[in-house]
Amino acid sequence: IKEGVLHPNKFLYGSSDFAQVSKCLYFDRTGYIPLMEKYGPYLRALRPRRFGKSLFLSTLEYYYDVTYKPYFQHLFGHLDVSKYISDRSPPNSFLVLVFDFSGIGGGTVSSFETSLNNYINDTITKFISKYEHLLNIPIKVNVTDCFSSYQSLCNSVSLSSFRSKLYVLVDEYDTSVNQFLKEGNEEMINHLKKNEGVLPLFRQLFTNIKKGSNGVLGGLFVTGVTPLALNEFTSGFNIAQDIT
């Protein structure tokens, strides 16, 4: 992060990177972070498209990620959240894992599941690159079983002498389902019907986040557009609070 000159009269359109956007004409929503924390550590929220969901998740990433601790004053010192630092979730004290499911596709059930497995493993690989210097035990990536990779990640974080918990951010949880319905993909729609409107691998992901993160997960924030199959989708993680 480079300390640049603020451009209060410039509107940065099309970017969802908080570090860039907050230097320009920016509507300060950081004051919602302490309000959000009062609802608990595991949250989900739905908002329409183009409503700033990805930007808010980026804000949370910069706020909670231990990597950006040296830049807290530069990023947040002039914003509302700096007035309300929470003892429950102090800033820049987590290892943050970010999932963005907007790009997961596949014309068949098999290709979708392969795409999702590869994406989760790629995300975990990026996590390793970012935090391996803080972890005592290496994370093992299983190329055929992303949930095994996630379990290894949780084990590594739990045994780290750094003593920092995991914060998981999930953007666009429902994009794949909405896209399949929009395209009229018969195979995927039939697959959804057989599984109560939810993609089994997504349910399994949240089940693994709950089971594998016992004592490790310090926070979770999930965003999407529609409540489509929301209860079934998150049934594997039924401790999340809906703040829509």
Element (H, E) at 169: strand 165-171
pLDDT of residue 182: 65
Neighbours of 225 (CB within 10 A): 16
Q: Tokens 């994009």 appear where?
A: 175
Is the CB of residue 142 less than 8 Å from the CB of residue 112? no
The DSSP symbol for 174 reads T
For residues 114 and 109, what is the distance between their CA atoms, to the nearest angstrom? 9
Mean pLDDT by 10 residues, the chain (244 residues): 58 76 83 89 77 88 95 91 75 94 76 88 97 94 95 93 90 70 69 64 78 81 69 55 76
Q: What is the pLDDT at residue 208?
A: 81
- The set of residues, in sequence order, having a beta carbon less than 8 Å from that of 47 and lying 6+ positions away, is 53, 223, 225, 244
What is the pLDDT, as a whole number, of residue 98? 96
Nearest 5°: phi and psi at 155? Answer: -60, -40
